[in-house]
Structures are given as structure tokens and as C-alpha cells.
Amino acid sequence: MIDVKKTGYPHIDKPWMQFYDQDLTQQQDPKVNLTQYLKDKTKGLDSKIESFYYGVQTSYGEFWNRVDNASKILTELGIKKQETIMNLVPNIPESGELWLGATQLGIISDFIDPRPDSMDLNANARKVLELLKYENAKYVIALDKCYLAMLRPIEHELKDLGIERIITLSPSDSMNIAGKINYLLDVIAYNKLKNERDREEAIKQLKWYEAILKKVNEMSEDKKLYEEAVSKSSLEVLKYSELLKEIRYSSFCSIYEPNLVNYIGHTSGTSGARPKPICLTNENQISATEQLFKAKANFNIGDRVLHVLPFFSPLGADNNYVLNIASGALNIDIPEFEINEFGYLIKKYYPNVILGTPSWLAALPKNKYLDKLDLSCITRIIYGGDSMTREDEIMLNNWLKAHGSSAVVEKGHGMSEYCGCGSYAQHSYNKYESIGIPLPNTIYTVVNPDIDDHLEPLKFKDNEDILVGELVVSSLAVTNGIINGDIIVPHYYLDGETYIRTRDLVRMDRDGIFYFDSRKDRSFTRFDGYKIKPHEIEKVIEQNEFVKYCRIVPYYDEKKRGLMPKAHIVLNIDLSLVDMKLMTEEIVKKQFINNQDMSSRQIPTKIKYRESLPLTPNSKIDYSTLVKEGLDGTEISINIEETNLSVGTIEIVSPQSEKKLVLK
């Protein structure tokens, strides 16, 4: 325990430091690039398994050789320090290898969501083009399917931007024959059968060999389309697997310079719907990782960790990839999965560590794959990205215990702006509904939420045990918030330190333990971790000529076992004259599918058309009443077929009609 000052100001007293080993917290971060940092962390582990990908095991020794090979290829291609590569890739081994290979050359890897989020291929391509322009990328690495769907339509525009080459990857590049069959079976189970019945039984009923043959034929057709597109391309389209054959005598030079950006991730916008770029340096990411080690929140050598969170999210890149490697853990790479199949992944791989959203984890006790299964393998289970209720946390802990696991739910709180995690809850400071305490070299403090142009810190008064206000954060892990000279993340000064505002309303007790209350902007997190910002969706829907008002609130989706957006819409025409299904089709197509600034994940999945919105006594919109209304069966349903990588059909269903309107 340490002596705690008694000024009453959290940012000065730092009461949470009583929980930490002070010798550890004083250690300085190494001054190297992120790749060298991870190489140093894993010294002596060459024979340990670094990753498992559909039956293929890669040792740490082999992994670092593959990272160096990536550096050789990028050097041969002439990519220079601080030039930007845009990556449209899922969680396959080559994605991380190319990132770390680029990092040790001082090259910036810019990850964007590889999932086409609209059924309009041209709209998807335009979104990518705008990001390429704004973020000044001169090279592109893409999954072969992403090349066809998102880059092929804009090749001439890419050439005008100075982009001459595209490197393509395939999910099967790192698979052996058994792995490819395993992958095909998973694709069949995920995309054809959803969650209807047990995978093994489903494969039997499908006559799995016929299903595989059908899928192989589909993949052969995709291959033909790819080869035809490459043959006609005005760009040089290179297969990464072929480039690996040409570097036998190549070399590279690893560099380190302070404050070089090595990664750009993306989060939801704050003033617009377009994804917001987050630039992070080697120092940002090393600090974020070292703080988890200083808090003893790292994993154990050899722990099997599901690598499911995406590279384009700093939470996925840093807390579900960099931390895995720094810990000497084993990455189980999952490129694509149906969210409802999360339990199947646990049954298949028996991981020791699970990271996910609250809705993913809270749904596990109801998952049929895990009935009566021994889960003693699970030693750590962690959620982030949103909050979990006390009841769900107790239920999950009891369920884990009943299934033989010694784990209790741990949780982190953070933002993409500081590498995904800034506070952590474990051990004695893992209180129900809390977000834990700040990491050792991070300062969380509470300010007056009603003041926007500067920070007014709040302090504990005598006999006051809880401080309530807006959370602000200071850390070496925080991005400088600037890209192309534009300030993306504003910084504020307080007592000699810089802070960023989170817009989170929190409570803090005198021990320094924090509790999340709500978001100032009414934002909430979908079942899959995607952040919904209501004002962005409301603004876009209200651009429709027939819409007078729109307000977005969350509702609980029983099938997805998490929150989804519901729109309450008031039209400027008589409701009795409106075909609600056709009106919904127009809004979906015009405001979302054909709008390059919007994602399919922002489409409200329930719409209620109404004469007016409820008001408070002060004549303001009564959001609490809208939320409490829940679902009454009168809503139009918008069913979107989606995995973490793809969007299928959109089906519009009216409760007054059995006929369904399907958008393909």
C-alpha cells in the first residue's frame, strides 16, 4: 500500500495506485519499434506455438521468420518509411505478419473494415476511395474477395491517386489440405445453417461431401473471376504467396525513430458517420501493452487465445493481438464467424482466454454447443466495448463455476484513442458493474460534464464517497489525434498534462474504482461491438423528404442476444396514406445502401412510424419513455444477413403482411 494524498482531486491523489506494485509501475518503456519490442518479449520461445490456423501450427521461430520475409517483400517493392499501406484484411496469419513486417521498416499500416457493408458494390468502392484519398495511402493489401468487390470498380481512380500495385491475400494461403476441408465445413455451418441445429448433425444431413463439392465449385468460380479481373487490370495485382518465392536473397533494415506512426485504426465518427482514423505510434502501443504487464493483466506463455477481434479496431490490434504475442500466448486466428456461433468456437478450440463483447459472453450460458461441456480450460474471460449488468455478470460467473472453470468475469474500459484499454477490473478491484481502476501509467479523472471548452476537475467533498461527472483520460498510450494536419481527437490541458474527453458519464469511489453510467451522446454498442451513435443516424434519416423527425434508441434483440437500433419516425404526411414497407425500402436504399458515408450496421433493424414523439414536462424528447416502450409488435423489421465479414440480403417484414420485401 502507498500513502495517498488527500487533495480530493483524483488526478492528483491517484488513489488507485494503492493496488499496484510500485517497483513495476516505475519501469521505463523500451525505446524500440513495436516489432522489436515483441521479438524481445518472446526471446527463448522459438519452439513455442505462436498461432493455430485451421490445423496449421506456426512456432514463434517460424513466425518471426515470416515477419522478416514480409519486411523483405515490402523493401523489394520500394515502399519507404512513413508511406502508408491500406489493408483490407481479416484475421488471417498474413495480416499480422505484414503489419509487423511493415512496422520494423517504419511503414504505416492503415487497417479499414474489410467487410463490404453495402449490397451496392459501387457504394463500397466509393467508401474505400474516399478513405484512400483522405488517409493518403499509396499501396493496398487486400483479401482477394475484397479486391474484386471493393477495389476492382475503382482501379482507374486508384491509378490517378498514384497507386500502381495491389497485393492480394487468400484465406487459404496458410492452410494445408486438412485445414481447407475444415475451413469449408465451417463456412457451410456458418453461412448455410446458421444456428438451427448442431454442426456435426447438420453436416451429416447435408451430405457433407456434396456440400464441400458445391463450395469448392463456388470457390473455383471466384478464382476464375479473380484471374479474369487481374488479366484485365490496369494495375499490377500481385499475389503475396507468389512474392514469397522471390525473396531468397533479399534483405531489409529495421529502424526506430521516436514518434513514428506504425498503425492507423478506425472507430465510429464523432461529427459524421464516416469511420474516424486513429493514428498510433510505437510508443503508444508499447505503453499500452507494458501497462497491462505492470498491472499483471497479461496472459500466460502458451495460453490459447481466440483471435476474433478485428485488426481495424485498436482493441483488436492491441489487446487481442499485440498483447497475445507479447505474452507468448497462442493465437487462434478466426477470419470469419457468425456471432451466434461464438459458443461453437469455444467448443472447437477449448481456449484458455476469451475476449469479447458483453453480449457475446452473456449469451454463452444459453448456447447449445456448451451444454454440459467441461470448461475448466477457461482461465480468463474478459469483456470490453460496453458494460454488463450485475445480474448477467453473476449469472456468467455461476455458469463458469458450474462448468468447471475457475475464471470470473474480468473487464476493461477504453477507447480506440488510447489503444483500446485504459482501465481494468480484476482481483479485489473487480467490483460488480465497475470498469475497474486506471492502468498504472494512465490517469482517469472526473470533470464537469456541462463545460465543453475546457476541463473543470471535480473533487471529493467531506463525507462524500462518490464523485460523478464526465471521464477524461491522460496516458502515453493516447494518440496525438492528428492526421493530415486535421485535429481528429482534441486534447485539453490540466495541471501540466494533456487529456482527452471520453463523453462517458461515470462514478468514482474513494478507492479509485470507476463505474460507467451512460454516454453523453446517447450512443450504445450493438451486439457485435459496433458503436451506434444515434445523432448520426437520425440526421441521415431526417434528410429523407418524407421524414419530419427521427429518434434512435436501443432495444434488446433476443436472437442476437444484444442491443440493436430502433428508429421512431414521424413523417410529414398522413400515416394512413403510406405503404410502410415501401417507405422503409426507400429509407434503407436512399439513406444507407446508396450513401457512401453510412454502414449497413447503422441501419435500424426495427422502425416504428408514429404520429408524434413523447415529450417531457419541459417539452423535450422523452428518450426514457421511448426505450421503455421496447417492442410491441407494430414495428417494421429489417433483417440483415451478416457475419463479421460479409453482408447478404436485407429483408423488410411488415407485421401487417406475410409478404416479405427482399433486397439482394
Computed over its alpha carbons, how large is the radius of gyration of the chain?
A: 25
**Mind giving me the DSSP string for 351-419?**
-SEEEE-HHHHHTGGG-GGGTT---TT--EEEE-SS---HHHHHHHHHHHHHTT----EEEEE--GGGT
Domains and CATH numbers, the chain: 32-175+229-296+311-325 (3.40.50.980), 418-518 (2.30.38.10), 524-663 (3.30.300.30)
Q: Show the cell assigned to 533.
A: 451513435
Q: Are 659 and 651 in contact (CB under 8 A)?
A: no
pLDDT at 211: 53
Tell me which of 159 and 642 has the higher pLDDT.
Answer: 159
Determine the average pLDDT of the residues in 506-521: 92
* Amino acid sitting at position 17: M
Grid cell 522459438 — which residue?
A: 46
What percent helix, strand, coil does the chain show, rounded to 5? 35, 25, 40
pLDDT at 193: 42
Phi, psi dihedral angles at 179 (to 5 degrees): -65, -40
What is the greatest pairwise CA distance in the chain?
76
Model confidence over 64-88: pLDDT tens digits?
A: 999 999 999 999 999 999 999 999 9
Strand partners, 518: 505
Residue 658 pLDDT exceeds 60: no
Residue 46 pLDDT exceeds 50: yes
Query: How far is it, in rounded angstroms, from Cα 149 to Cα 158?
Result: 14
What pTM was estimated for this model as a whole? 0.84
pLDDT at 318: 96
Instruction: Return the closest-CA partner of residue 567 out of 582, 596, 587.
Output: 587
Query: Which residues does 417 contact at the CB level (< 8 Å), separation at least 6?
Result: 267, 278, 478, 479, 481, 489, 500
Q: Are 481 and 500 in contact (CB under 8 A)?
A: yes
pLDDT at 455: 97
Tell me which of 640 and 480 has the higher pLDDT.
Answer: 480
Query: How far is it, in rounded angstroms, from Cα 313 to Cα 358?
Result: 17
Strand partners, 476: none
pLDDT at 528: 79
* Amino acid sitting at position 177: I
Average the pLDDT over each of 265-269, 276-280, 298-302, 494-498 and give the range with the smallest value: 265-269
Residue 41 pLDDT exceeds 70: yes
pLDDT at 210: 53
Long-range contacts of 491-496 (CB under 8 A, 24+ apart): 492/454, 492/455, 493/455, 494/11, 494/445, 494/455, 494/457, 495/11, 495/12
DSSP 8-state code for residue 510? T
Query: How far is it, in rounded angstroms, from Cα 312 to Cα 310?
Result: 6
Model confidence over 222-257: pLDDT tens digits?
A: 778 888 989 999 999 999 999 999 998 899 999 999
Give the 3-state DSSP-derived string for 181-225, with helices as H, strands as E and coil as C. Answer: HHHHHHHHHHHHHCCCCCHHHHHHHHCHHHHHHHHHHHHHHHHHH
pLDDT at 195: 42
pLDDT at 185: 65
pLDDT at 209: 47
Q: What is the distance of C-alpha 437 from the center of its chain?
A: 22
Query: Which residues does 227 contact at the CB level (< 8 Å), separation at least 6?
Result: none
Q: Is the dihedral of CA 446, 447, 452, 456 positive or negative?
A: negative
Give the orientation angle of helix 60-76 with respect to helix 93-103, to 10 degrees.
60
Query: How far is it, in rounded angstroms, from Cα 589 to Cα 595?
Result: 8
Q: Are 421 and 12 in contact (CB under 8 A)?
A: no
Model confidence over 578-621: pLDDT tens digits?
A: 899 999 999 999 998 888 778 888 999 999 999 999 987 766 78
Q: Is the dihedral of CA 18, 21, 22, 24 positive or negative?
A: negative
Model confidence over 189-211: pLDDT tens digits?
A: 555 444 444 445 544 544 544 55
Model confidence over 455-502: pLDDT tens digits?
A: 999 999 988 999 999 999 999 999 999 998 999 999 999 999 999 999
